[in-house]
Copies of this chain bind each other. A is one copy, B any other.
Amino acid sequence: MIIPRVNRLTPEQEAELKAITAEFGITLRVIQGDQRTVYAMVGDETSELLINRVEGLDYIERVDTIQAPYKLMARENPLSQHTIRVGDKVLGRDLVVLAGPCTIDPKNPGLFFDTAHAVKEAGADGLRGGVWKPRTNPHSFQGDAKSLDILLEARQKVGLPVITEVMDEEQLNLAVDAGVDMLQIGARNALNYSLLREVGRKVNGKPITVLLKRGIHMGQLDEFILAGEYIVAGGNPNLILCPRGTLPTMDGYRNHPDESITPLLKAKTWAPVVVDPSHSVGKAVYVPLAALAAAAYGADGLIVETHINPKAGIGDDPKQAVTPDVLAGLIQDARRIHGQSRKYLEQITLKKSP
């Protein structure tokens, strides 16, 4: 829909508008109201250049697009039939829980192995462990590739699929070549399109799932979904969207908790939603409540920072990791709530189908 700044365009202006949209294969439908005339676009209206061209005209107020700019990620796409698994669990059917410490301490592998055993016993379905870490301060510890071996050794010991974050092409290649089961793209890289494209290429044809965190600034959900579209366009539809809190923080948590976007995402896309309550609230004592709320909003899973001894952690763990016994309790509670929210969620997604 094209909204002029004035009530009626002159014939010259209307002609110019038609010429521009015609370049993009769009037919204009004139809608003459009693006060104003607006123009509907028939055809694919999602080209950024088309929108820029039309909004660049002095006499145009704005363009309101109706079509979603993503294609592959849309619920209407046949990919919505695709099943994504974590280990033997099917996302969308069972509540899936990934757990483990923020950062693997390369000097103390035992701590990670013990945590891995404990999170498995607590009921987790996957094991997280940071090898490299994005740090605000360049003078802080940035991670160590040696931790990748520790992560894979833990997988062997406990039999859980493993997930780790990669931040650049070098780390991507190391992690995929080493055989991790899942990759995490962090919130700071959610708009790093070079990396997103590279990830799409690298996981194509491989049994790897990508968990994409929401950028901390992504107010428009379409921007989040389009970031996912970058990855899926590479050819591998094993994609998970992960809300983890946004900025600005307005209330007193580390971020602004955003588990509430879960049903909005599910109304728009087929991708499973796994919520990260740990980064949302940023303090261990609030994590179980945020996890329960994520389940209440219909999340398909949780990713929870967990450490057998948080005080000994070298990343965010001392502040936001829960212990395995807390994890065990919240998994039970969250699974029960997940069952309850399911029926409300179906109302939202069913109504959307054709």
Contact = CB atoms under 8 A, between A and B. Distances in A.
Interface in A88-142: 134-142
Interface stretch (A78-86, A144-152, A191-199): A191-199
B136 A48 contact: yes
Contact of A216 (B35, B167, B217): B217
A340 B292 contact: yes
Interface in A23-52: 29, 31-36, 38, 40-43, 46-49, 51-52
Interface stretch (A176-184, A202-210, A258-266): A258-266
Contacts of A69: 136-137
Contact of A138 (B32, B233, B246, B352): B233
Interface size class of A (residues with CB under 8 A): 35 or more
Contacts of A253: 260, 264
Contacts of A137: 46, 48, 69-70, 226, 229
The copy count of this chain in the complex is: 4
A188 interface: yes
A260 B49 contact: no
A325 interface: no
Contact of A317 (B40, B52, B336): B52
Contacts of A347: 285
Most buried by B among A171, A289, A295: A289
Contacts of A286: 263-264, 348
A65 B234 CA distance: 38
Contacts of A17: none
A285 B134 CA distance: 36
Contact of A257 (B35, B248, B260): B260
14 contacts: A38-B66, A47-B140, A52-B313, A53-B318, A69-B137, A138-B230, A168-B198, A192-B192, A217-B217, A251-B258, A260-B290, A260-B293, A293-B293, A337-B337
